[in-house]
């Protein structure tokens, strides 16, 4: 079995996967093998895979999204590690519910940011909203990534190991300057972590967001990633074309960016109902 795991890890390294991805893949494979309890890889079958996924869904009560990630890991493991991709080929992908994220209005965002008392976390969340950065991208932002002359932020090796630029608004720059003057963070990171030379951990702004949502009084859900959703939706409502938004967000496919059209109230509210075309009697012309 160890030879299969070694081949699996070599495959991930050749694909140049990030250390975080390799860790998650190995964690999921270990969990699967512990559940199966077999000594030799030759004893694994499609029956083991089906039972394991049903165990995750019914016993562990994991979401279909998490089970889909587990299946993706097993597909890679059985292909690259065991050389037996046919065992996974017949396993269906879990159907994911299409749930739209809550989009906060400008007034609600003002309440949210006012509820974040720590200047570090407030500035980081403002950065996510002002630029559309993912929380991990904002945490890894370095001082040298701020290009004042060109008015952009340089995102290095974002999701999918891709570089891109995002607009740097003058107002965000002013917030960053005030933050830098007061907090005096240690370079190179704009938002350094507890350990010297390391960026801030994602879990810290996530915890601050949970507390701020509760104190804001707004009955909506929110995570730091909600700031990215709000940026995309508000940008479309303010007239940004979808191809520019795709480049800013770093989406490989335009289809991914187009989902924000479903969240834009400007497009929905301007859609004309067919009821407007009917010639109907007024209330005074109707009999009780």
Based on the residue annotation, tell me whether 75 is a catalytic residue of this protein. Answer: no
Q: Which residue among the candidates 25, 52, 231, 260 is catalytic per the annotation?
A: 260
Interhelix angle 119-131/203-216, nearest 10 degrees? 90
Catalytic residue selected from 134, 164, 229, 234: 134
Respond yes or no: is residue 225 known to be catalytic: yes
Catalytic residue (choose from 140, 164, 228, 229): 228
CA distance 51 to 83: 21
- Is residue 159 annotated as part of the catalytic site, yes or no? yes
Active site residue 24: no
Out of 24, 68, 225, 259, which one is annotated catalytic?
225
251 counts as catalytic: yes
Asked about 52 being catalytic, the answer comes back as: no
Catalytic pick from 7, 24, 79, 159? 159
CA distance 145 to 134: 15
Give yes or no for a contact between 250 and 155, defined as CB atoms under 8 angstroms apart: yes
What residues have CB less than 8 Å from 194, skipping those under 6 apart? 201
What separation in angstroms does the CA of 174 have from each of 2, 169, 170, 177?
Answer: 54, 9, 6, 5
Residues known to be catalytic: 134, 159, 225, 228, 251, 260
């Amino acid at each position: 079995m160890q030879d299969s795991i070694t081949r699996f890890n070599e495959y991930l390294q050749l694909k140049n996967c990030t250390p975080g991805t390799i860790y998650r893949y190995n964690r999921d494979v270990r969990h699967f093998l512990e559940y199966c309890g077999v000594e030799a890889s030759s004893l694994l079958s499609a029956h083991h895979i089906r039972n394991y996924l049903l165990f995750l869904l019914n016993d562990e009560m994991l979401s279909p999204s998490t089970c889909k990630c587990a299946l993706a890991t097993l597909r890679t493991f059985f292909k690259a590690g065991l050389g037996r991709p046919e065992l996974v080929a017949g396993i269906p992908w879990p159907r994911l519910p299409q749930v739209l994220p809550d989009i906060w209005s400008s007034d609600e965002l003002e309440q949210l940011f006012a509820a974040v008392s720590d200047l570090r976390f407030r500035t980081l969340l403002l950065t996510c909203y002002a630029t559309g950065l993912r929380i991990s991208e904002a945490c890894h932002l370095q001082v040298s990534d701020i290009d004042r002359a060109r008015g952009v932020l340089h995102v290095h090796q974002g999701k999918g190991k891709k570089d891109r630029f995002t607009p740097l608004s003058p107002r965000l720059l002013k917030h960053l300057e005030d933050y830098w003057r007061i907090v005096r963070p240690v370079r190179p990171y704009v938002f350094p972590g507890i350990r010297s030379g390391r960026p801030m951990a994602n879990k810290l702004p996530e915890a601050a967001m949970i507390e701020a949502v509760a104190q804001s009084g707004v009955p909506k859900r929110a995570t730091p990633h909600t700031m990215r959703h709000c940026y995309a939706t508000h940008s479309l409502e303010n007239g940004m074309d979808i191809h520019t938004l795709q480049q800013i967000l770093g989406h490989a496919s335009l289809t991914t960016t187009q989902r924000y059209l479903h969240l834009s109230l400007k497009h929905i509210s301007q859609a004309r109902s067919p009821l407007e075309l009917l010639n109907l009697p007024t209330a005074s012309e109707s009999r009780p």
